[in-house]
Amino acid sequence: MFIDTGSDVSWVQCKPCSRCHSQADSLFDPSSSSTYSPFTCSSAACAQLRRDGQGNGCSGSQCQYIVNYGDGSRTIGTYSSDTLSLGSNAVSNFQFGCSQSESGLLLNDQTAGLIGLGGGAQSLATQTAGSFGKAFSYCLPPTPGSFGFLTLGAATSGFVKTRMLRSTHVPAYYGVLLQAIRVGGRQLNIPTSVFSAGSIMDSGTIITCLPRTAYSVLSSAFRAGMKQYPPAQPRGIFDTCFDFSGQSTINVPSVALVFSGGAVVDLASDGIILDSCLAFAANRDDSSLGIIGNVQQRTFEMLYDVGGGAVGFKAGAC
């Protein structure tokens, strides 16, 4: 399952599925579960779904959902409930989407669906808060072949923490305030006002997107620290790229993100260079919401202490 802190509805591919990506395991068959139940259109759960902008009408009397993601992809299906098994724990009446159609989702055959970990009513974190508490954490591994973890009811000590910002307009988002960036231990000359739009933590977005002014300063400073490597042509959204041909080892300047409250997060090398390029991108302008993406979160245990109002980072956790 893919985990996404930027959305709420969890979903799995279900039989029958008219437009699904291939997966190694069998599709979930609702008819084989004695505890599966689709929500009716008149149910409170369906009403909440509509209020949150994710209702998609009815199919007969069954509630339909739609989730549109920021990259233009989406999933459509029947909003349902079933018993969710988490190790030795069982969560009764867990609400999720039974996906019958999807488009644009970049999921591989090892992925059967998505776990929504946002702050809204439908997310796994919210639905299980009564059982496990209002905190969860995860660690995203540096490579596809290695292992990470997800912990519900996570311990909240031992982390570098910054204040969590929430919005009533978009309850799914966990916001943070980035205030500065350091390269090679030196703080870059970026006015704090450049970061005033704020940022969200989004494990479902690959690359961290910075205000355009901040990215420009970061790119220049990083190039200066990489003068020993020839520049290379841009690759997709990456414009700060290098030619590492013939290099057995690569020395990369450290990059640290500084959040409100003095939280300094020194990124792992996997969160700095991707495909021979600086693994950051620029927003359209400085007024757009920033995103702290999953590449920069890799190897950290990421804590979302919803009850305590904090986001935490613990290096080298996976």
Strand order of the β-sheet with 255-259 is 186-187, 178-183, 255-259, 263-266
Query: How far is the CA of 212 from the CAs of 194, 198, 215, 275, 284, in angstroms?
Result: 9, 13, 5, 21, 6
What's the token pair of residue 288?
């757009």
Widest CA span in the chain = 65
The catalytic position among 4, 8, 82, 305 is: 4
202 is catalytic: yes
Distance of CA 95 to the CA centre of its chain: 20
CA–CA dist 188, 94 (Å, integer): 46
For 69-226, where are the E strands, in sequence order?
Answer: 74-86, 89-103, 113-116, 135-139, 149-152, 160-163, 175-176, 178-183, 186-187, 199-201, 208-210
For 104-159, where are the E strands, in sequence order?
Answer: 113-116, 135-139, 149-152
The catalytic position among 8, 82, 202, 286 is: 202
Q: Which of 68, 65, 69 is nearest to 46 (CA)?
A: 65
Distance of CA 315 to the CA centre of its chain: 18
CA–CA dist 290, 230 (Å, integer): 30
> Exposed, middle or buried, 227 (CB in 10 Å: 0-12/13-18/19+)?
exposed
- Sign of the torsion angle spanned by Cα atoms 239, 236, 190, 161: negative
Contact 298, 292 (CB under 8 A): no
The answer to whether the bond into 141 is cis (omega within 30° of 0) is no
* Residues recognised as catalytic: 4, 202
